[in-house]
Amino acid sequence: MPDMQPLISDFVLKLKRRKVEGSHAVARQTAELLRSVVSQHRMGSTNQAAALADAIHAVGEHLIAANPIELAVGNTVRRVLHIIKEEDISFTAVGIEGLSVTAVSDDECDSGNDDRPTLSAAVLASHARNALRAPSLQTLLDDIPLEIRA
């Protein structure tokens, strides 16, 4: 992520000097910067969501430290981290979609069932919640024309 450092430093400088006025403008520019960080992030083959969340968290700490009074920065960073977590859960749920669902607890013996694995109640609840959630940050930012962002 070294190629992102000039963009991050520039935005940190703007926040320190209070060149960005208004919570809406700060939140929008923070979201756009974090979107750039996400798109430039190089992910390994294992634990991609955790690595991306760590990168976003590190950038967020720099931004929050630049102007701790501006709450929109921290709120935007936390929202992006939440979206990453939701997408990871959604991806995991899609990967195990072929599993059967049972109502028995983990400690009960279910020797009468076939050998197919079962979904836990937590995974089922998260999968149902994902079906009802609001549009993602990526969808919202894709609607903004590039000319307005500059």
Using a CB cutoff of 8 Å and minimum separation of 24, what contacts does 83-92 make? 83/136, 83/137, 84/49, 84/52, 84/53, 84/56, 85/49, 85/53, 86/130, 86/133, 87/49, 87/136, 88/49, 89/123, 89/126, 89/130, 90/126, 90/127, 90/130, 91/49, 92/123
Q: How many angstroms separate the first and last alpha carbons of the chain?
A: 21
> What pTM value is reported for the model?
0.62
Q: What is the pLDDT of residue 115?
A: 52
Say which residues have a Cβ less than 8 Å from residue 90's Cβ, sequence separation at least 6: 126, 127, 130
Type of residue found at 107: D
Q: What is the pLDDT of residue 50?
A: 86
80 three-state secondary structure: helix
Residue ranges in the chain whose pLDDT is less than 70:
1-2, 43-46, 93-150
Superfamily of domain 4-99+136-143 in the CATH hierarchy: translation initiation factor eif-2b, domain 1 (1.20.120.420)
Q: What is the pLDDT of residue 102?
A: 47
Q: What is the pLDDT of residue 101?
A: 47
Instruction: Give the residue extent of every domain in the chain.
Output: 4-99+136-143
State the Cα–Cα distance between residues 5 and 19, nearest whole angstrom. 19
